[in-house]
Structure 1
Amino acid sequence: MTSDAVVDDALVRSAFRVMGVLTRAGAAHDLSLTQLRVLGILRDRRLRMTELAGYLGLDKSTMSGLVDRAERRGLLARGRNPGDKRVVDVFITPAGLELAGRVQAEIQRDLAPATGRLDPRQRAQLAELLELVLA
């Protein structure tokens, strides 16, 4: 196997492991992977609906349905943009923030067997390399 193929294989295998952890965490809280991503994205920001749809690669109608379902669960809310009253923002509610924190802790716990084998320098290096791959 070429070195590129080895890297690609390792990246795919790690993606499957992470997706498994995310899928189980979402299922435990009746959340899809997309809903998990929305909670993660909105943990520290308030976005226009169109910006959120762009982050997720979704069209506006799909995004509206996703936000509607999360609003019914009390996880997200919509409000007028402070800078432009014609624009609708989406933001996480306190209940959504609490759930996002719990899910994040569960994900970290479930990834710990893999990441715990790395020393602090290796974890920092892994994070750097992953950021380069994702850029």
Structure 2
Amino acid sequence: MTSDAVVEALVRSSWRVMGVLTRIGAENDLSLTQLRVFGILVDRRLRMTELADYLGLDKSSMSGLVDRAERRGLLARGKNPDDRRAVDVYLTPAGLALMERLLEEGRRALAPATDRLDAKQSAQLVDLLEILLGE
């Protein structure tokens, strides 16, 4: 298989996943970018600047995005424990609960595709994706 075929398969699978995420986000009044923020923050706190850099957003766009989620009680800001001048962003308990529900919705929506894989194929896919992601 050529690298072009690999890239094409990755792009097609990305479109399917983004379609599911876009639908789930819309059903919950969330943009795809907001879902990305929540997904990033599921298991960590990040400085506003780190989060903006990760998403490729400028500081004002990041602040607006966080402000909207903060008003909904899904994100909060707090002083960084290591650098009192820095501001961290993190999911609130309500944000974490929402993400757990949305992840389950995503699993159900993608199950028709992922259920075609046997246990060995599923493990291989996870391993390969982790290599591609650098994790």
Assess same fold via TM > 0.5: yes
In structure 2, the residue matched to 1:33 is: 32
Aligned length: 134
Q: Which amino acid aligns with 1:107?
A: G
Deviation at 1:51, TM superposition (A): 1.0
Deviation at 1:3, TM superposition (A): 2.9
Q: TM-score, normalised by structure 1?
A: 0.93
In structure 2, the residue matched to 1:54 is: 53
In structure 1, the residue matched to 2:132 is: 133
TM alignment of 1:1-135, pairs within 5 A: 3-135=2-134
Question: Unpaired segments of 5 or more residues in structure 2?
Answer: none
Specify the SS of the correspondent of 1:45: coil
Q: TM-score, normalised by structure 2?
A: 0.93
- Residues 12-66 of structure 1, C-alpha deviations (whole Å, 9 max, x = no match): 2111111111111111101111100111111111111111112211111111111
Q: Which amino acid aligns with 2:54?
A: Y
User: Identity across aligned pairs (percent)?
Assistant: 70
Question: Unpaired segments of 5 or more residues in structure 1?
Answer: none
RMSD (CA atoms): 1.3
